Amino acid sequence: MPTQRERRQRLFQLAATQGGYFTAAQAREIGYDSRTLWHHVRSGLLERVSRGFYRLADFPAHSHEDVTAAWVKAGPNRATVSHETALALYDLAPIRQRGIHITVQREHRPYKGQARLPGVTVHTISLPFHPGDVIHRFGVKVTSPARTIADAAEAGTDPSAIREVIGRALQQGLLTERDLREAVQGRPKRVRDLVALPRVYSPADKRGETDVIHLIRSRASRQQVVEMQETLETYIKLAVDIRREILAGGGIMHADCEAMLLQDGSQQHDVWGADWDPGAQVLTFEALINIRPRQDNPSMEILASDIRDEVSRVVHKLLGGI
């Protein structure tokens, strides 16, 4: 029979693989009864999050704790973080706008009358995941980038968002075109066609003759602003490096501008997306490339006022008044 020290070590090892969380059922399997758990709660060793759900009190917090908690509650051995939530963990798409998404085998789906997890959408699959479809990352089980994109596309995520996500995933080396082709085999034709679009992948291929992107290191000329504005007519998509104080603007995707800066030596954590209206001299701060949970920015909008101020300062310095 395990000693108290051995039980505690096993519990800590388990919780450490689950973002510090565990269920009462998991604790019972290790040898903890409800009285012992309550004793540790009162002593400050554990936190009772909800009925039958606990957290190590001193475990470091992280930016996607709600995802980890939902995954553990749903059952780490049977649930996988997926769809838009998985995209967000890869810094590719929103994490909080549409709740948390997990996928389970059909036999593990919530039955009628069972308590539902608030804010959690449960997707079901009838066949097991293929090898490589699920990886352990960010402290949870999560669908691979290619599987995630295929699932999100089939679930109805906006096609333009899917195209931009694919472009970013390829640029960041999260997947290959072959991974995408394999992930959509057997999917509906609309999903296969969306992923197979030849202009999804390369920023260079995606730009047409009038889709001009300029790298602006010093104050832009009027001609450069006109050319950057030609694609969208009323505004310009920008990627701004707040450390180097330069920007790339033009084209139809923030990811294209971001790619140009990265090729020029910028670091991704310094680059933020924005839109500039030259006529009204108005700057807005929404872009898919801004979604970075690991930088405490889980939204398309830049949330930190100091970063918005830096982006605004660089844009007005290089484009203001033109």
Give the residue-averaged pLDDT of 263-272. Answer: 92
Query: Which of 2.60.40, 1.10.10, 1.10.357, 1.10.3470 is the CATH number of 4-56?
Result: 1.10.10
Question: Exposure of 245 by Cβ count < 10 A (0-12 exposed, 13-18 middle, 19+ buried)?
Answer: middle
Indicate the domain borders of the chain: 4-56, 65-196, 205-319
Tokens coding 224: 């450069």
Judge whether 219 and 234 are in contact, CB under 8 Å: no
- Distance between first and last Cα of the chain: 77
Question: For residues 181 and 277, what is the distance between their CA atoms, to the nearest angstrom?
Answer: 38
Identify the CA nearest to 285 among candidates 216, 237, 317. 237
The helix/strand/coil state of 218 is coil
pTM equals 0.61
Q: H or E stretch including 178?
A: helix 177-183
Q: CA-to-CA distance for 191 and 189, rounded, in angstroms?
A: 5
How far CA 121 is from CA of 6, 17, 89, 99, 287, in Å, comes to: 37, 23, 16, 7, 25
Q: Tokens 């001009």 sit at which residue?
A: 212
161-218 pLDDT, tens per residue?
888 888 888 877 788 888 998 999 999 999 988 876 544 444 444 444 447 899 999 9
Higher pLDDT, 114 or 17: 17
pLDDT at 160 over 80: no
Q: Is 311 exposed, middle or buried (0-12, 13-18, 19+ CB in 10 A)?
A: buried
| pLDDT of the residue at 106 | 87
pLDDT above 70 for 316: yes
Check: CB of residue 271 under 8 Å from CB of residue 263: no
Taking the C-alpha atoms of residue 305 and residue 76, their distance in angstroms, rounded to an integer, is 37
Q: How far apart are CA 209 and CA 231, in angstroms?
A: 10
Question: Does pLDDT of 149 surpass 60?
Answer: yes
Q: Which two tokens stand for residue 9?
A: 């070590």
> H or E stretch including 106?
none
| pLDDT for residue 63 is more than 80 | no
Any idea which of 33-47, 90-104, 180-194, 300-314 has the lowest mean pLDDT? 90-104
Closest CA to 308 of 233, 242, 228, 221: 242
Q: What does 111-142 look like in DSSP terms, one character per residue? A: PTTSPPPTTEEEEEESSPPPTTSEEEETTEEE
The percentage of residues in the chain with a pLDDT greater than 90, rounded to a whole number, is 38
